[in-house]
Amino acid sequence: MLKNVAIASKPAKEEISERLDEEQAKLAANQMRIRSAQVPVVVIFEGWGAAGKGSVLGKVIKDMDPRFFSVATLDAKPTEEERMRPFLWRYMVEMPAQGQFKFFDTCWMEEVTDGLARDELDGAAYDRRIDSINMCERQLVDNGYLVMKFFFHLSKEEQRRRLDALSAHKNTRWRVNEDDYRENEQYDRFLHIYDRYLRDTNRSSAPWYIIDAEDGRKWATLQVLEFLNNGIEVAIHNRGASAPLRQNVFPLKHVKPLSAIPLDKTMEFEEYRNQLKELRGRLRMLHYEAYRKRIPVVIAYEGWDAAGKGGNIKRITSALDPRGYRVYPIASPEPHEKARHYLWRFWERLPKDGHIAIFDRTWYGRVMVERIEGFCSNNDWRRAYNEINEFEHELVEAGTVVIKFWVQIDSETQLERFTDRQNTPEKQWKITDEDWRNREKWDQYEQAVNEMLARTSTTFAPWHVLESNDKRYARVKAMRIVVNAIEKACRRKS
């Protein structure tokens, strides 16, 4: 689409200045409207080297209130640290809160096209990146984000002229590097790469806007502002709109409904102690092996209140080197978390390669408590099954071992444990009125859990049900599943 894009015809100089003032004032007003409408805005600048992205960005934000926007400058090449997380991670953690603007001075496009240009990304890997990016942009928009993407276009000759001009002066020489000259020398090759990327990611949820950057900074700024203001107006108009459901496209495993799972499994203390000891030893060694082989592990715990999640997690962590794992207890989102895509706080907590993250409650809150308590719309939680599968797929694609536990007990056992907690002074902190209120909704939750298990038990991230009426049995089972999963991943990566 770059090769034959319709560049708007440049107006006369005075007209540009006039319209620029207008649009700048409009943006200042729109920023406040975005703030009161609580829409999060992502603005992405991509384009040729020396096309003036930076200086246009400077003009765009000139009259904006600096409390409500920020700029992310990510290098095309991820750092060592960033490469220890899934591809999308370093972008996702930058995502703005409601009412905030985030400007990306180059985003995932540059990383991908740079990889193509260096022949570091083959066809299949490129396709996976495109799928990830399209998925991510769609999810952002479906969850209320405005995503505006600008590509700054420049001819070979003009780029050359600018590079030479920058190199000629010692104050600006630092802004030009080998890569810029390489881009210029291989202009046609890069044109092809950019064109392909723009076509592949030009979707309705977040279309591309090509900016004529050939003809001066003011004109380029005006084009950006006009598109941006229009986008904001559309987004504000559409606030509260629902996204269409998308069917899950990942292969699912068949899982039984909770009621079909017998809970009579038990384990004698002696056997429990022996097995635990053996498993603990293996897990300890595997943890070092996974660290050495840079395999990240995510262990997700969900289950009924008082099902024994905490004790279960403790048995796992007792085998782990504390430098290499972290447990995240997940409660209701904090205000700054609630203001973002509901998966944002989990993106933020993803483990680095070789590390283990254990989540005590997870992103599945979306399709359980948020669904049942009405904290999100019907459409939101229905859409979330697919979104969550996509999220976990990203993790698995990045080499993460994803283990999901549902800790299951029956209603009577819960009642016993609640009563016990109530009556034991040192356990009283563990039981709240909310637990009792949730207990009254047991049937509603059970239905939601069954639907969740059926819709998100993918082949790459299946659910494991831990029968936890007997906590010993559940602990050993969990440990064994974790050991087997990490062992398998280590063997694959030898």
Binding site for a copy of itself (CB under 8 A): 1, 4-9, 138, 141-142, 202-210, 227, 230-231, 233-234, 237-238, 241-252, 254, 379, 382, 454-455, 458
Nearer to a copy of itself, 2 or 97 (CB): 2
Q: How many residues does the chain have?
A: 494
Give me the phi and psi of 356, to 5 degrees please: -120, 130
CB of 15 to a copy of itself, least distance (A): 12
Residue nearer to a copy of itself on the CB measure, 242 or 428: 242
The DSSP string of 132-173 is HHHHHHHHHHHTT-EEEEEEEE--HHHHHHHHHHHHHSTTTG
Q: Give me the least distance between CB of 150 and a copy of itself, in Å please.
A: 10
Distance CA 71, CA 91 (A): 12
CB of 11: closest distance to a copy of itself in angstroms? Answer: 10
CB of 198 to a copy of itself, least distance (A): 9
Buried b (16+ CB within 10 A) or exposed e, 234-246: ebeeeeeeebeeb
Q: Is the dihedral of CA 265, 271, 276, 281 positive or negative?
A: negative
Residue at token pair 């502002």: 225
- Over the Cα atoms of the chain, what is R_g? 26
Of 140 and 356, which CB lies nearer to a copy of itself in the complex structure?
Answer: 140
The smaller minimum CB distance to a copy of itself, of residues 127 and 157, is found at 127
Nearer to a copy of itself, 255 or 316 (CB): 255
Nearer to a copy of itself, 168 or 241 (CB): 241
CA distance 45 to 63: 18
- Smallest separation (angstroms) from a copy of itself to the CB of 396: 14
Closest approach, Cβ 130 to a copy of itself, in A, equals 12
**Could you tell me the CA-to-CA distances from 492 to 84, 290, 399 in Å, in that order?**
18, 11, 11
Q: How do 208-212 and 297-303 pair as beta strands?
A: unpaired
Q: Which is nearer to a copy of itself, 182 or 246 (CB)?
A: 246
Q: Least distance (Å) from a copy of itself to the CB of residue 88? A: 18
